[in-house]
Structures are given as C-alpha cells and as structure tokens.
Amino acid sequence: MERSARPRRNLRALLAPATDNWLSRGYLAVVAASIGFFLYAVHLSPDPGFAAIWPVFATAPLGMAALLLAAPGLWPDWLGTLLFAAGAAAAGLVNATVLGMLVRGLRTPRTRPTAH
C-alpha cells in the first residue's frame, strides 16, 4: 500500500497550488462557469452559436489544444463535446496550477545575502 500512496501524494502536491489560494480558486470558478455555459448552449439551447469560444478564451493558450482535439468531423458529436469539455477542464487545471505557483513565488519573501 505504501507504493500506491506515493503517486497520489505526488499528484496532490503537484496540484496543490491550483487550490491553495483565492486567485487560482477564482480562476477555476471562471473555467467551470464557461464550461457549464458551453454545455448548456450545446445541449439545451436551440442555437449554440460560438459557445465554445468562452472555454477556449478562459483556458488559453492550452484551451486551443482542447478545441483541436474535438475538431468537428473527427468524432461523433457527443464524443467531441465530451472531449472538448474534458480538455478545457484539464487545461484550466494546468493553468490554475501555474497561476498558483506564480502566486506562491510572489508571496515567498526572499532573503538577500549580506555583504561581508
């Protein structure tokens, strides 16, 4: 059991910056709202229009990969929608982790070496 717990701990430590500050949490909320709007527009709205643009903009630059992954014509519609939503969520999580690491770096006081 020791062996299986180690990768989980490493993943938790890697993703901790995505949720341990308010800026990253707020960003994840924006990403979740944009994906929710996309799913609403695709499944419940009579005309989804350019609904995919909101998750792509919210998760840029990695969100472009989600858009390319779910390109129309490659997959059935339901699978393309699922791949796009999952890709945008993963891109948002990666971006939130990077944002959290940036916040941690800015918060940490740096000590200056003293002159002799």
Residue range 53-61: mean pLDDT, rounded: 94
CA–CA gap between residue 13 and residue 25 (Å, rounded)? 16
Instruction: Calculate the average pLDDT of the chain.
Output: 87
Residues 6+ apart with CB under 8 A from 59: 31, 34, 66, 88, 91, 92, 95
Residue 1 has pLDDT above 50, yes or no: no
Residue range 89-98: mean pLDDT, rounded: 95
Token pair for 101: 């690491």
% of the chain residues with pLDDT over 90: 52
CA–CA gap between residue 24 and residue 35 (Å, rounded)? 16
* pLDDT for the residue numbered 56: 94
